[in-house]
Structure 1
Amino acid sequence: MVRAIALMLLLPLLAACGADNVYAPLAEVDRRAYRADGPTTLTLLTAINNRSGAGGHSALMISGSQRVIFDPAGTWHHPTAPERGDVIFGITPTMLEFYIDYHARPTYHMVSQEIVVSPDVAEQALQMVQSHGPASKATCGQVVSGILRDLGFNQVNRRWYPDKIMRDFSAVPGVREEKVFDDTVDPHSPERPAVARITDDGFETTQG
C-alpha cells in the first residue's frame, strides 16, 4: 500500500516521461546515422524544475560509432531523427540543439553531464539501449540509472528520481557538467498549448 501511494506521488513529478512504441524503418535509421568527431562519450541529460529543483526527465546520449540519445518514455520527436524503441538516431549538432531546446524552457533547465569513455564502453552502451526496448511511463530514471550502473558506474544507484541520478553521476571522476536555461516558449515546447499570449515581458498562460 505504501509503495502504491509513493508511486502515485511520483508520477506527477515525472510528467515529462511519456511512453510511445515507435519503430522507424531500419533503412531510415541507417540513412540518418551520425558519428560525432572527438572522443567517445556518455552524456547524462536531465531536465530540472526551476522552482523545486526536482528532476522531470532523464536521458542518455551515447557517442560511439554513432551518436544517439536513449530517451526512455520521452516525448521529443523530429522527422529527421528516426526513433526505434526509445533510441533516437541521427543526433547531429542541430538535432542535439533541438532536443535541449525542447526541454529547456521557462519552467525547466537542462543539465548535461559528459564523461569520456573507451570505445568499447560506448559500443556496449549502444548495444544495451538498442536491445532494451520502449520504457513504460515515468520509468526514465529507473531505466537510465540501471543502464549506467550496468556499465560499471557504481556511484549511480538505481533510482526513480532524475535529480538524484544526476547527483550520483556528478560523483563519477571526470564528469563535466553544463547547464542550459531558456526563458522563451518555442512553438514546439510542451508548454505551448498553455500559452495565451507572448508579450515583451514574457508570456501569459491560460492557467492561473
Structure 2
Amino acid sequence: MMRALMMLAVFAALTGCAITSPFEASQEKIAASAYVDEGPPKLTVFTMVNNRSGSGGHTALMVSGSQRVIFDPAGSFYHADVPERGDVLYGISPGWVQAYKSAHARSTYHVVSQEFVVTPEQAERALQLVRSNGGVPGAFCTSATSSILQQVPGFEDVDSTFFPIRLMEQLEQRSGVVTDRYYENDEGEVRDGIVAAQG
C-alpha cells in the first residue's frame, strides 16, 4: 500500500512531463532539418525545478554528436519547425536550445543544464539510444533519461530514478560537469513560452 501511495505521489509531482506527444515527423523531414553543432560532442541534462518547492518537474537530455537533438520524454514542447519523432526533437540549433529553455523557465520554474563533454563514441551511442527508445508514457521522463544514460559508456553508474532532482544531484557529483541555471519571470505554460521565445 505504501509503495502504491509513493508512486501516486511521484506521478502527481511530475506534471511537467505528463504529456505524450502525438506528433511523428517523417524521416524525410527529420533528415532535412538535421543540425550539427561545431563544438565538441556533448550530453546535456535539463532539469526543470520548481522555484517554490525545489522539486523537479521534468527531465530531458540533449545529445550533440553527428547531429544535435533533444530527447524530451513525455514533454510538451512542440513547434511546427521542430520535427519530432518518438519524443526526440530534431534540428536543435542554438536558437532552438534557447527557445526550449525559455519555454520551460517561468515564474514557477527554472531550468538547470548539466553539460558533459564526451567522446564521439559516447555521443553516438546516446543518439542511437534516444532515437530507438520511442515515446515515453507520462511521468516517466526521468526514468527514461536515467535508463538511457546508464547505457552510455562512462555513465553506467547512474542510478535509475523517477525523481528529477535525484538525477540532477547524482550528475552534480560527476567530474567535468558544467552547470547552468536559467531563470525567467513570465507566466504561462510551456506552449506559451514557445510562442514568446519565437516572437
User: What's the CA shift string for 1:90-115, capped at 9, x where partnerless?
Assistant: 00111111100011000000000000
Greater than 4 Å deviation, 4+ residue runs? none
Q: Which has the higher contact order (CA 8 A, sep 6+)?
A: 2
User: Is there any run of 5+ residues in structure 1 with no aligned partner, and where?
Assistant: 193-208
Q: Structure 2: 5+ residue runs without aligned partners? A: 193-199
Given the two structures, how large is their TM-score scaled by the length of structure 1? 0.88
Query: 1:10 corresponds to which residue?
Result: 10
Give the structure 1 partner of residue 184 of structure 2: 182
Cα distance in 2, alignment partners of residues 48 and 153 from structure 1: 23
Q: Considering only CA atoms, is the larger Rg found in Structure 1 or Structure 2?
A: 1
- When you count helix as a share of all residues, which structure comes out higher? 2
Instruction: State how far apart, in whole Å, the 1-side matches of 2:45 and 2:8 are.
Output: 26
The structural deviation recorded for 1:149 is 1.5
Choose from 158, 161, 173 the match for 2:160. 158
Shift of 1:191: 8.5
> What residue is the counterpart of 1:200 in the other structure?
none
For the structure 1 residues 67 and 191, does the alpha-carbon distance in structure 2 shift closer, same or farther, using more than 3 Å as the test? closer
Contact kept? 2:77, 2:191, Cα under 8 Å? no
Q: CA deviation at 1:155?
A: 4.4
Q: Structure 1: which amino acid aligns with 2:108?
A: T
1:45-100 CA-partner distances (Å, limit 9, x unpaired):
00000011101000000000000000000000111110000000000111111100
SS in structure 2 of the partner of residue 16 of structure 1:
helix
For 2:196, the equivalent position in structure 1 comes to: none
* Cα separation, 1, equivalents of 2:62 and 2:187: 24
Secondary structure of 1:97's partner?
A: helix
Q: Sequence identity of aligned pairs in percent? A: 42
Answer yes or no: is 1:75 the counterpart of 2:76: yes
Please say if residues 35 and 67 of structure 2, whose CA atoms lie closer than 8 Å, have aligned partners that are also in contact.
yes
Which residue of the partner structure matches residue 196 of structure 1? none
Secondary structure, counterpart of 2:111 in structure 1: strand
Say which is worse superposed, 58-67 or 142-151, in terms of deviation.
142-151
Deviations 1:110-166 (A, max 9, x none): 000000000011001000011100001100010001111221314421000001100
